[in-house]
Amino acid sequence: MLECSPPQVAYESRSHLRPSGLSSSLPGSSGGKPAYSFHVSADGQMQPVPFPPDALLGPGIPRHARQIHTLSHGEVVCAVTISTSTRHVYTGGKGCVKVWDISQPGSKSPMAQLDCLNRDNYIRSCKILPDGRTLIVGGEASTLSIWDLATPTPRIKAELTSSAPACYALAISPDNKVCFSCCSDGNIVVWDLGPVRTGTQYWHFYILAFRVPALFCVIPVVLVFMCAQIFSLGYCPTGEWLAVGMESSNVEVLHVSKPDKYQLHLHESCVLSLKFAYCGKWFVSTGKDNLLNAWRTPYGASIFQSKESSSVLSCDVSPDDKYIVTGSGDKKATVYEVVY
């Protein structure tokens, strides 16, 4: 795995830091520098995007982000998430999830360690249910662990076992009732998490597995063929846009019901994670090129960019859109405060 190296973090507004050869000004502006955002029409024609005057202005649009905490996990951080209260950050590494209190300034030590997997197996995804009381953890094992966060000390309250040897990604429905786990055997497993009966402390779990794209009798509304492998995906809370991070280093933003899309070119290597802000007005992506990019939805005006010291493997945005957390290959997580 990657070796630990001293953090060398720079975080800049859109007008400063850019990969070599890319524009530091808006597409279509003077200066003759190449654009980084393109509109792709239904027939494949690509045109630089002329950003509107308010692309980087207005309520809910960040100005920049500043680093406020470094969380030294001790292993490569493949998964991160922020609590609904924004007080706690959860970092997933080898065999365990560590819990951090970020509500106060100063150096940080984990306040708890949740031993979820065998010591040599990596956590690949962790999600907090929208009610903030339950954490679901998946990784290089056939079992998902369900943790009760409402007790003074987090504890396992259930485990879910599938036939797949690993779970690479998790998603939770807004009503807390369904968990989707993306498995290494090519299946998506759908878990029914309800009902939970207070006092009896037992959960009902039902399992349905389907293979993509053969979703039994379910017919896809839109089928999109991509020219490169997809490494990350995010769905905009407004319901209109789907963003994907590609092995090719591109970020593509697709409309859910129209053939047009935007193609964004600021990453220099594969895009490993992607997350929309809860307001839906912006999103972030991270990559093997050590970059954290923040983009305007949907056309991809660059809001700010941060350069970390190693590959940025994971990211999350807090429910109030005030914080971003990243997990990286140099065995740490970084917490940013979003400045408006």
Pairing verdict, β 261-264 and 206-211: unpaired
Higher pLDDT, 81 or 105: 81
Contact between 181 and 172 (Cβ < 8 Å): no
CA 23 to chain centre: 26
Q: Are 137 and 125 in contact (CB under 8 A)?
A: yes
The Cα 60–Cα 292 span in angstroms is 19
CA atoms within a 13 Å half-sphere pointing along the CA-CB vector of 13: 10
Q: What is the mean pLDDT of residues 80-93?
A: 96
Q: How far apart are CA 295 and CA 251, in angstroms?
A: 10
Cβ pair 22, 34 in contact under 8 A? yes
pLDDT, tens digit, for every residue of 127-137?
998 888 999 99
**Number of other residues whose CB lies within 10 A of the CB of residue 298:** 24
Residue whose entry in the numeric block shows the structure tokens 């030590």: 109
DSSP secondary structure letters along 115-131: E-S-TTSBEEEEEE-TT
- Across the beta sheet with 251-255, what order do the strands follow? 46-48, 37-40, 261-264, 251-255, 241-246, 230-235
The model's pLDDT over 90-104, given as tens digits with 9 standing for 90+, comes to: 999 999 999 999 998
> Which of 19, 86, 84, 29 lies closest to 56, judged by CA?
29
Q: Which domains does the chain have, with CATH numbers?
A: 37-339 (2.130.10.10)
CB 18 within 8 A of CB 24: yes
Residue the block writes with tokens 């949907």? 298
Q: Comparing C-alpha atoms, which of 278, 276, 287, 286 is closest to residue 243?
A: 276
Q: How confident is the model at residue 204 (pLDDT cuts 50, 70, 90)?
A: low
Mean pLDDT (whole number) for 141-154: 92
Alpha helices in the chain (DSSP H): none
Strand partners, 245: 232, 251
Is pLDDT of 241 > 60? yes
pTM, two decimals, is 0.83
Say if CB 142 and CB 187 are below 8 A apart: no
- Name the more confident of 60 and 227: 60
Q: What H or E segment, with its residue span, contains residue 67?
A: strand 64-72
Check if the beta carbon of residue 284 is closer than 8 Å to that of residue 300. Answer: no
